[in-house]
Each structure stands twice: as structure tokens, then as C-alpha cells.
């Protein structure tokens, strides 16, 4: 899944993106098709227990489940609904990890909304007991998202975690990357120097 630059105003956006990737829901799919794909994916995992999970995962994704699934949501709101959504996500990841080891990758976490960060912190504890690896990629300097995750995992001694800080490429490494990407025969070296200077060691900018 991936957060986006306007994600602070989009609840659970990277979690929803993750679920869409898993359920193979495309950008062109309408709500009915998206729900059908989600239903099929969850049913494959939960079989007769589908109704205990599907309505809450669909709600998280902003999908309005039809009856009889909608009836499972009747009278449930606020904190009670939030707990059931979290429980359903937890059970979903556990089932997936029982089939094969699971890697959950969330990119651009620095742009995630607070609800997504809270959800991830809740799910991280699964790494203690299940075959799940969480990889969270983010830029430094974002207190409410990336830094919050670093602080949470550092404080919670029950979590198996490691922080990997990627330093900017130096000039030599930057030039090596440029040469790997381009055919530099006859290429003006001043342009290479300009790329190195303007990219400031960021391989994406290179």
C-alpha cells in the first residue's frame, strides 16, 4: 500500500490501498465490482465465517455492503465499530500468514493519516506471534507519522523491529547511478555534475 501527499485528509488510505492490491480491485472497478472482488477474497480465507469479517473490512474501505452483510452493522458505531474493524483486519492478516509468510509494505508513510498510523501500530504486534513482516518506508522529519512509528516500536519491547536509515548518496555513488542509467558516450560531464548537485544524493531525484 501507499500513502499519498493529500493523505492526511483521507482516512485509512494506505490500508485501503493495501486491501485493494490484495483483492485485485482495479481503479476502474465500480463499488459493486469492488465489493464482489473483496467478498471473493475474504470468502476464500474465511469460508463460513465470511459474514463476521467482510462487513467491517468493507466499511473500512468505504464500501457499502448489501444485505445480509449490512445487518451485521446495525446499531454498531463509534468506538465499538472501530474495535470490530481492527479485529477484522487482525484476523485477515493472521489467516493470510497461515497460508504463507506475509510481507506488508507501506510506502510514503510520512503522508499517512493518523487513523492509518494507529491501525498499523495495532497490527505491528502480530509480528511477535505470526509470520508477518511489516516494512514501513518514510522520509525523516514527520513527527505524527514516521517519527511516531519509530518511537512506538522503540518503546514497545515486545515488538521485533529495526530502523534502517538510508543516507544520501555521495557524489561518487551518484555518478555511478547516473552512468548505470544512461549511455554517457559523448555526454557533457557538466550536465552530470549539475544532476549530482541538484539531486543532493536523492536517488529518486537522480
Q: pTM here?
A: 0.86
Structure confidence by residue, pLDDT tens digits, 52-80: 999 999 999 999 999 889 888 989 999 99
Ordered DSSP codes for 36-65: HHHHHHHHHHHGGGGGGTHHHHHHHTT--P
Confidence of residue 34 (pLDDT cuts 50, 70, 90): very high
Structure-block grid coordinates of residue 181: 542509467
Percent of the chain with pLDDT over 70: 98
Listed residue (143, 151, 201, 148) closest to 176, CA to CA: 201
Structure confidence by residue, pLDDT tens digits, 139-195: 989 999 999 999 998 888 677 899 999 999 999 999 999 988 887 676 778 888 999
Q: If 0-12 CB within 10 Å is exposed, 13-18 middle and 19+ buried, where does residue 76 land?
A: middle
Amino acid at each position: 500500500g501507499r500513502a499519498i501527499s493529500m493523505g492526511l485528509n483521507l482516512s485509512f488510505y494506505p490500508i485501503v490501498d493495501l486491501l485493494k492490491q490484495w483483492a485485485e480491485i482495479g481503479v476502474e472497478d465500480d463499488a459493486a465490482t469492488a465489493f464482489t472482488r473483496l467478498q471473493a477474497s475474504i470468502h476464500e480465507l474465511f469460508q463460513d465465517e465470511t459474514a463476521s469479517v467482510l462487513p467491517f473490512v468493507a466499511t473500512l474501505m468505504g464500501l457499502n455492503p448489501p444485505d445480509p452483510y449490512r445487518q451485521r452493522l446495525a446499531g454498531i458505531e463509534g468506538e465499538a465499530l472501530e474495535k470490530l474493524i481492527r479485529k477484522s483486519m487482525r484476523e485477515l492478516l493472521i489467516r493470510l500468514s497461515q497460508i504463507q509468510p506475509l510481507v506488508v509494505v507501506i510506502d510514503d508513510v510520512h503522508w499517512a493519516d493518523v487513523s492509518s498510523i494507529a491501525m498499523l501500530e495495532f497490527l505491528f504486534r502480530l509480528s511477535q506471534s505470526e509470520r508477518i513482516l511489516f516494512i514501513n518506508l518514510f522520509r525523516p522529519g514527520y513527527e505524527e507519522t514516521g517519527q511516531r512509528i519509530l518511537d512506538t516500536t522503540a518503546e514497545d519491547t515486545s515488538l521485533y523491529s529495526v530502523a534502517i536509515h538510508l543516507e544520501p548518496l555521495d557524489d561518487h555513488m551518484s555518478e555511478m547511478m547516473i552512468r548505470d542509467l544512461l549511455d554517457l558516450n559523448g555526454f557533457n560531464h557538466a550536465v552530470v555534475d549539475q544532476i549530482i548537485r541538484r539531486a543532493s544524493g536523492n536517488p529518486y531525484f537522480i
